[in-house]
């Protein structure tokens, strides 16, 4: 049984990539109306370019009756054509422990995700039913990518001083990661905050959503969030890749171009830092 | 178009009840294995006793492929046999605004809930896509029913002093409820905390999960959480009602007895307080 960290390391090395493509199937933005065919085309076009896929469950829920069928079939397609790429269920699940136990069953036993995103509002002990799946990854939502973050940014009393809530949470998470399968979510838009969290959690995998096309932003987020080996970070881009074109004739081709562009941008930053991929 | 507050008021008055039955279909605890038949039997047995049903979406997700079908059919059954009872989707959804927009579509347009539960970790502005459904209710998870609450209980800097995070959040919610459709979730287990939140939010509907059989606890939670008219509170009980019996011969009958017992306990407390139901 490989751990999530091992799987992630393997998929990253295999495709020489820290890029994750977020699967947010949106019929109002996609080039074709069949969302399963759309997902399959995106996956076929990017499967050798990414370390991870991240289906965002809200988008599947919003497809109505077919949503669950499309989600299941999308995950199966990834397993078929890209068996080494990790699949992260972006669901931000989180409730009290008795409900989290049932969520874990749905996410890990039924849907079979390698990792999921969770919300720690009910406290870390309530997340125990998730982390007990020791071979799966649990990404705790720490610092979101939006700017009115409210709860996360309240100043918390800490010793004689005060710190932002998301840093308080990062400290708690760092102390609590008993099975070594916990990771952190920190949005790409605040590289300074990513750096602060990385200091607290030097070894954890980071999931960084909201990676856009701009190279400067990408660079700041990557350098702030990667570990000392230039690894253990999943740079996730959704709409920029999925909806690179709205034409059915070239959307998958342009998704591939966009994914290659981001992957290559990441890799040239890694090279500049002397953290290039091994000759696998 | 009635607002959620109006619907809740009507359903409460109609059945002279502040009781909500939480629908947590659990094949390992239920008297029969068909979860749709189970839900229907529970609903048939309690439809004149409750003001609300609260399907917990995790339990439906964990049913696998059939979960969504069972959920849809359960909601439809409530609409058929208890058209005035409100249906609250307990999903604790919460993400950045662009994803919340899609969640809202799934919860309100597709599933058709009268109200849902949400998580404010990304800040209140991110919840705008939910509250813009002005005829639906949005219950923000403020104080959970478990005891290691971590995030909620950190001490937040406030003026010269400090307050618990959940009270800071309650204050923010109170200022922010622009459409009058926002409510608060506060677990039954901490009546003292419910009372503190009620002071901050005197007019909002409260959803109080974790209501058990013990009369003392019920009384403290009710007196702490009801508004000055003895209303605007939804006392929710799940397992105590659903799994009152594990025998297929009497589970629905005993669910009804348990629901009547809790409803009557609530009503006698209201009577003692001079807040009895009008002669409708």
CB contact under 8 A, A124 and B62: no
The alpha carbon of residue A232 is apart from the nearest alpha carbon of chain B, in Å, by: 23
Report percent pLDDT > 70 for chain B.
98
The alpha carbon of residue A21 is apart from the nearest alpha carbon of chain B, in Å, by: 16
Structural tokens at position B66? 């059939």
User: Could you tell me the sign of the dihedral formed by the alpha carbons of A68, B113, B95, A122, in that order?
Assistant: negative
DSSP class of residue B210 equals -
Taking CA atoms, B150 is separated from A36, A182, B77, B96, B155, in Å, by 40, 17, 38, 22, 10
Over its length of 280 residues, how does chain A's per-residue pLDDT go in tens digits? 689 999 999 999 999 999 999 999 999 999 999 999 999 999 999 999 999 999 999 999 999 999 999 999 999 999 999 999 999 999 999 999 999 999 999 999 999 999 999 999 999 999 999 999 999 999 999 999 887 778 898 999 888 889 999 999 999 999 998 889 999 999 998 999 999 999 999 999 999 999 975 667 899 999 999 999 999 999 999 999 999 999 999 999 999 999 999 999 999 999 999 999 985 4
CA–CA separation, B192 vs B224, rounded Å?
A: 7
What is the pLDDT at residue A145? 83
Task: Quickly state the pLDDT bin for B148 (edges 50, 70, 90).
Answer: confident
Which residue(s) pair with B88 in the sheet? Answer: B115
CB contact under 8 A, A61 and B162: no
CA–CA separation, B197 vs B202, rounded Å?
A: 8
Query: Which of A123, A151, A161, A174 to substitute to test the interface with B, most B CBs within 10 Å?
Result: A151
Residue B202 neighbours by CB distance under 10 Å: 10
Residue of chain B whose Cα is closest to the Cα of A26: B102
Sorted by sequence, the CB contacts under 8 Å of residue A3 that are 6+ apart come out as A134, A135, A180, A181
DSSP class of residue A203 equals T
Query: Which of A102, A104, A174 to substitute to test the interface with B, most B CBs within 10 Å?
Result: A102
CA–CA separation, B219 vs B223, rounded Å?
A: 6
Residue of chain B whose Cα is closest to the Cα of A28: B102
| pLDDT tens sequence across B156-190 | 988 888 999 999 999 999 999 888 999 999 999 89
Homologous superfamily of B4-272 in CATH?
Aldolase class I (3.20.20.70)
- How big is the A-B interface in CB pairs under 8 Å? 177
CA–CA separation, B188 vs B224, rounded Å?
A: 10
What is the pLDDT at residue A280? 47
DSSP class of residue A152 equals G
CB contact under 8 A, A165 and B154: yes
Residue of chain A whose Cα is closest to the Cα of B100: A58
B215-225 helix and B191-200 helix, angle to the nearest 10 degrees: 10
The H-or-E segment that residue B270 falls in is helix B251-272
Query: What is the 3-class SS of A39-105, one letter each residue?
Result: HHHHHHHHCCCCCEEEEEHHHHHCCHHHHHHHHHHHHHHHHHHCCCCEEEEEEEECCCHHHHHHHHH
The alpha carbon of residue B193 is apart from the nearest alpha carbon of chain A, in Å, by: 15
What is the pLDDT at residue A1? 64
The alpha carbon of residue A106 is apart from the nearest alpha carbon of chain B, in Å, by: 4
ipTM over 0.90: yes
Task: Quickly state the pLDDT bin for B151 (edges 50, 70, 90).
Answer: confident
Q: Is A190 left (phi over 0), alpha (psi -120 to 50) or beta?
A: beta
Q: Which residue is listed with tokens 């307080």?
A: B273
Query: Which of B151, B165, B208, B237 to substitute to test the interface with A, most A CBs within 10 Å?
Result: B151
Query: Which of B76, B97, B98 to substitute to test the interface with A, most A CBs within 10 Å?
Result: B98
CB contact under 8 A, B103 and A58: yes
Q: Which residue is listed with tokens 């991240």?
A: A54
The alpha carbon of residue B231 is apart from the nearest alpha carbon of chain A, in Å, by: 26
pTM (2 decimals)? 0.97
CB contact under 8 A, B121 and A121: yes
CB contact under 8 A, B106 and A151: no
Q: Which amino acids of A are annotated catalytic? A: 92
CB contact under 8 A, A121 and B168: no
Task: Give the least confident one: A167-176, B169-178, B211-220, B229-238.
Answer: B211-220
CB contact under 8 A, B119 and A92: yes
Sorted by sequence, the CB contacts under 8 Å of residue B156 that are 6+ apart come out as A154, A155, A156, A157, A165, B162, B163, B164, B165, B168
Q: What is the average per-residue pLDDT within B67-89? A: 98
The alpha carbon of residue A235 is apart from the nearest alpha carbon of chain B, in Å, by: 17
Task: Quickly state the pLDDT bin for B212 (edges 50, 70, 90).
Answer: confident
Long-range contacts of B250-256 (CB under 8 A, 24+ apart): B251/B30, B251/B31, B251/B32, B251/B41, B252/B41, B252/B42, B252/B44, B252/B45, B253/B45, B255/B21, B255/B41, B255/B42, B255/B45, B255/B46, B256/B45, B256/B46, B256/B49
Which residues in B lie closer than 8 A to residue A56 (C-beta atoms)?
99, 102
Q: Which amino acids of B are annotated catalytic? A: 92
CB A237 within 8 A of CB A27: no
CA–CA separation, B245 vs B251, rounded Å?
A: 5
CB contact under 8 A, B141 and A120: no
Task: Quickly state the pLDDT bin for B280 (edges 50, 70, 90).
Answer: very low
Structural tokens at position B240? 């105590």
CB contact under 8 A, A169 and B151: yes
Residue of chain A whose Cα is closest to the Cα of B166: A151
- CB-based burial label for B119 (10 Å; 0-12, 13-18, 19+): buried
Sorted by sequence, the CB contacts under 8 Å of residue B213 that are 6+ apart come out as B240, B258, B261, B262
Phi, psi of B235 (to 5 degrees): -95, 115
């Amino acid at each position: 049984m490989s751990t999530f960290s091992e799987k992630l390391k393997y998929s990253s090395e295999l495709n020489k990539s820290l890029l994750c493509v977020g699967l947010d199937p949106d019929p109002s933005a996609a080039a074709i109306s069949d969302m399963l065919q759309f997902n399959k085309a995106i996956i076929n076009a990017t499967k050798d370019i990414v370390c991870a896929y991240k289906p965002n469950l809200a988008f599947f829920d919003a497809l109505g009756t077919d949503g669950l069928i499309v989600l299941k079939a999308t995950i199966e397609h990834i397993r078929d054509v890209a068996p080494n790429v990790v699949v992260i269920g972006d669901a931000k699940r989180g409730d009290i422990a008795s409900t989290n136990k049932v969520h874990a069953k749905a996410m890990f036993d039924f849907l079979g995700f390698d990792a999921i995103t969770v919300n720690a509002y009910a406290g870390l002990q309530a997340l125990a039913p998730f982390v007990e799946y020791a071979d799966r990854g649990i990404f705790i939502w720490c610092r979101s990518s939006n700017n009115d973050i409210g709860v996360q940014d309240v100043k918390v009393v800490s010793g004689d001083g005060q710190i932002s809530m998301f840093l308080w949470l990062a400290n708690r998470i760092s102390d609590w990661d008993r099975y070594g399968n916990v990771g952190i979510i920190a949005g790409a838009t605040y590289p300074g905050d990513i750096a602060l969290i990385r200091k607290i959690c030097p070894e954890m995998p980071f999931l960084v959503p909201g990676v856009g096309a701009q190279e400067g932003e990408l660079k700041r987020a990557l350098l702030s969030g990667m570990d000392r080996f230039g690894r253990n970070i999943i740079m996730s881009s959704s709409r920029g890749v999925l909806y690179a074109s709205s034409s059915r004739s070239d959307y998958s081709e342009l998704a591939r171009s966009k994914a290659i562009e981001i992957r290559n941008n990441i890799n040239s930053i890694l090279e500049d830092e002397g953290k290039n991929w091994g000759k696998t």
